[in-house]
Amino acid sequence: MTYTSVVETLSTTTSTSLTRDTAARIIWAALAGPGDPRVGALVAAIGAEPALELLVDGPSSAVVGFGISGLRAQLRACFDRAAAVESIRASAESGYHVLTPSHPDWPVQLEDLRLASPLILWVRGDPAVLSMRSVLVTGDHDSTGYGRHMAIDLASGLGARGYAIVSGAARGIDHAALASAVASGGHPIAVLAGRVNTRFPSDRGALLDDVAESGAVISEVPPGATPIWWQFARRGQLMAAVSSKTIVVEASVSSDALTAAEYAVELGRPLGAVPGSGSDSTVAGYQLLTSEFGASVVTSQHDADWL
């Protein structure tokens, strides 16, 4: 069950127009976790297809210099020819855009992640919006009415100023920001931890359909794959990297939004925080963002625009 046999099967059973490099990147996305720097280093050194052939089919001595023997063992244990063929076929037949770094609509700002940069993206909607200046608006899932009001106001106002609105499509602040961008005629970008064609829960599925109509829904996970818990943290990294700036609206100290904020700081992106509505949890999160993360105070659309 070698990589070569995958290519041979595809050439005889499907009319996919995907390049061999794209096919290799699809298999990488199915086999290795998004953002794995070991994979990034190997692909950067010799290319996606040669790297996959080397790890799946090559002699053990060939990869010693990269220090990835553990990755090789992991790949050989889980590589499945039929599953690899199906991932490629599903991508080719999905009707979604499949972007690699050579694609003209590839968002070049993702290269700031260096070896953790995505190898491939699946996009529903218009991939060109990924290259717009954009702002990540995110926060707690269990948000207050005040927090949702601020997310709606910021998303609509910044959209009118020419920003694409990025968020994670979770409930609460994320949902409010994306729905506001859709309703105000803006360009929303939903970043998913799971596959790009997810429709669960049903209310999020309807919102994502609307997002794809006026913006883009993106994922690093192949169609049909199931997300793993740590991929939600990776989503925070991807959201921060694709965005020009990040604004956190209501976040407790345990909020997933703080992961995105931390990555924004690491990437040198401007970071803003909206003061909480007065609850102990949101006040603590706001204080952490301003004191430890260096976030600027955002109380209006103007503050967010000038961040």
pLDDT score of 1: 46
Give Cα separations from 187 to 14, 42, 126, 180, 202 (angstroms).
Answer: 35, 35, 10, 10, 22
Residue numbers in the chain where pLDDT is lower than 50: 1
Give me the domains of the chain, ranges plus CATH numbers.
Answer: 3-93 (no CATH), 125-305 (3.40.50.450)
Residue 282: count other Cβ atoms within 10 Å of its Cβ.
Answer: 25
| Rounded Cα distance, 24 and 85, in Å | 10
pLDDT score of 162: 96
Give Cα separations from 293 to 164, 260, 272, 305 (angstroms).
Answer: 24, 11, 10, 19
The model carries a pTM of 0.91
Residue 139 burial (C-beta neighbours within 10 Å; 0-12, 13-18, 19+): buried
| Rounded Cα distance, 165 and 160, in Å | 10
pLDDT score of 227: 59
pLDDT score of 85: 75
pLDDT score of 203: 66
pLDDT score of 255: 86
pLDDT score of 56: 72
pLDDT score of 221: 86
Give me the torsion for CA of 241, 211, 231, 265, rounded to 10°. Answer: 20
| Rounded Cα distance, 135 and 153, in Å | 13
What are the pLDDT digits (tens) for 256-299? 899 999 999 999 999 999 987 666 677 888 999 999 999 999 99
